[in-house]
Amino acid sequence: MTLRLIATGGTFDKHYNELNGVLGFAESHLPEVIKRSRMTVPVALDVLPLLDSLDMQDADRQRVLASCQAASEKAIVIVHGTDTMRETAAVLGAAKLDQTIVLTGAMIPYSIANSDALFNLGFACGVAQTLPAGVYVAMNGQVFPWDNVTKNRSEGVFQQL
């Protein structure tokens, strides 16, 4: 089984610019993360335009959907910004694809100490290979159906609606 990873940006993929103190995008961290995680499952990586999820528009969500539709793999993990993860999951859920699609992200960028990125990605990769077809959000060691999840901004976690 090959696992498809789709990078869309979000906090997970942000880089810290020491010169101006701003978090922004350069290249995706996922090639490095895949090596560091020592995954033994074959991985196919799609890097879409990296965006903060607050900047995602309908056309960007359609690009994510098209990437999933074009994938031959049955297990897909999408690295996505946490603020609008549910909105993208809703587009994917409505498409009723015959794949297991798991969205995940991070509250702290991968490149910053104490990030949750590596854990969330590893967890999402594991559950994507075991869950039945459908769309899910996997964050902080929990899995939620796409239509029964919300981000609790005050606590910085995901939870059921």
Quote the pLDDT of residue 8. Answer: 96
- Residues annotated as binding site for substrate? 53, 82-83
Active site residue 150: no
Domains parsed from the chain with CATH numbers: 3-159 (3.40.50.1170)
- Residues annotated as binding site? 53, 82-83
Catalytic residue among 8, 11, 84, 104: 11
Say whether 49 sits in a helix, a strand or coil. strand
- C-alpha–C-alpha distance, residues 45 and 138, integer Å: 19
20-34, 62-76, 131-145, range with the lowest pLDDT: 20-34
Of residues 156 and 63, the one with the higher pLDDT is 63
- C-alpha–C-alpha distance, residues 71 and 91, integer Å: 16
- pLDDT(87) > 80: yes
Q: Which two tokens stand for residue 76?
A: 């897909």
Catalytic residue among 2, 40, 82, 150: 82
DSSP per residue over 69-122, as a string? Answer: HH---SEEEEE--STTHHHHHHHHHHHT-SSEEEEE--SS-TTSTT-SHHHHHH
Of residues 18 and 107, the one with the higher pLDDT is 107
Task: For residues 53-70, give the mean pLDDT.
Answer: 97
Quote the pLDDT of residue 154. Answer: 92
- C-alpha–C-alpha distance, residues 23 and 155, integer Å: 21
Strand partners, 24: 15
- pLDDT(76) > 90: yes
Quote the pLDDT of residue 23. Answer: 82
Quote the pLDDT of residue 78. Answer: 98
- pLDDT(15) > 90: no
Quote the pLDDT of residue 119. Answer: 96
- C-alpha–C-alpha distance, residues 148 and 161, integer Å: 5
Residue 124 falls in which region: left (phi positive, over 0), alpha (psi -120 to 50) or beta: alpha
Scan for tokens 């929990």, then name that residue: 142
Overall size of the chain counted in residues: 161
Task: For residues 29-46, give the mean pLDDT.
Answer: 94
Percent of the chain with pLDDT over 90: 86
Q: What pLDDT, in 10s, does the model give residues 100-137?
A: 999 999 999 998 999 999 999 999 999 999 999 999 99
Active site residue 104: no
Q: What is the mean pLDDT of the chain?
A: 94
Task: For residues 51-55, give the mean pLDDT.
Answer: 94
Quote the pLDDT of residue 1. Answer: 80
